Amino acid sequence: MKILIIEDEYVLLKTIENFLLTEKYIVEKASDYYSAMENIMIYDYDCILLDISLPGGSGLQILQEMKKENRTGNIIIVSAKNSLEDKVQGLDLGADDYLTKPFHLPELHARIKAVLRRKQTDGKQILQLGNLSVDFARRQVFVENNLLKLNRKEFDMLAFFLTNKNRLITKDALAEHVWGDNSDMADNFDFVYSQVKNLRKKLHDGQSDIRIENIYGIGYKLTE
């Protein structure tokens, strides 16, 4: 899952980044209003950690701009301001949660997982599709009662496909979601083809009802 940290306090930014990297998230960061807006308007994120007080503008302004552009990002406001007015305004503008500094990193992680789970599975911890069940909390996939062994990238791809069932997923979107901005530096999408091929084989060999269709020249679509 891809997370954007918008925070101008360098030590806290690095602390959160290092923690999330150990939890196997893809992490990108911005330390001021303008760089944050640039990232948000170019890329899609599974979750955004948003400070209110930023050089060049405020987190509330970012929420206002995102609302105008109909962009969502599963936003958790992380702020030193424990103001009821800020909380109400932030939530009204589209934030999903509000965490006051200082906080413990495991609490932040719990908030992130809760937001992602609500958005991806309508609050369900386990998603069932055909004879396939996915436990997002434990990152496990079962066909019937048999565990399907997937590596981290394969699981991330499957989760992305499942939460976009029957939608066309372009190769660019899949690469950017699973591999982050590093995908921009790739000369081609061979690394995407390889991972999708492996995932397809495991789903087929495991006798899953799920199929990943190839939309020639564009991308993929997951169907049941």
For 205-224, the pLDDT digits (tens) are 999 988 899 888 788 998 88
Residues 12 and 80 in one domain: yes
Task: Work out the pLDDT band at 173, boundaries 50, 70, 90.
Answer: confident
The CA distance from 127 to 56, in Å, is 41
Residues 105 and 161 in one domain: no
Inter-residue contact 168 to 218 (CB < 8 Å): yes
Q: Last residue of some domain: 97, 121, 145?
A: 121
The total domain count for the chain is 2
* Structural domain for 87, as ranges: 2-121
Query: What is the chain's alpha carbon radius of gyration, rounded to the nearest angstrom?
Result: 18
Residues 96 and 158 in one domain: no
Residues 109 and 191 in one domain: no
CATH code at position 194: 1.10.10.10
Residues 67 and 172 in one domain: no
Inter-residue contact 25 to 70 (CB < 8 Å): no
Q: For the sheet containing 219-223, what is the strand order?
A: 169-170, 219-223, 211-215
Q: What is the mean pLDDT of residues 166-171?
A: 83
Residues 85 and 165 in one domain: no
Residues 112 and 169 in one domain: no
Residues 10 and 107 in one domain: yes
Q: Last residue of some domain: 121, 143, 164?
A: 121
Inter-residue contact 116 to 1 (CB < 8 Å): yes
pLDDT of residue 82: 66
pLDDT of residue 178: 72
CATH code at position 108: 3.40.50.2300
Q: Last residue of some domain: 77, 94, 121?
A: 121
The pair phi, psi for residue 23, each rounded to 5°, is -90, 10
The structure tokens listed for 33 are 């209003």
The CA distance from 7 to 29, in Å, is 8
**Beta-bridge mates of residue 220:** 169, 214
The CA distance from 2 to 24, in Å, is 10
Residues 162 and 200 in one domain: yes
Pairing relation of β-strands 47-50 and 75-79? parallel
Q: Over the stretch 72-131, which tens digit does the pLDDT of each residue have?
A: 768 999 887 766 777 788 888 888 888 888 888 988 888 888 787 666 655 556 778 889
Residues 8 and 94 in one domain: yes
pLDDT of residue 182: 54
Residue that wins the pLDDT comparison between 191 and 100: 100
User: Does an H or E element contain 142, and which?
Assistant: strand 140-143
Residues 14 and 86 in one domain: yes
Residues 152 and 201 in one domain: yes
Flag whether the pTM goes above 0.85.
Answer: no
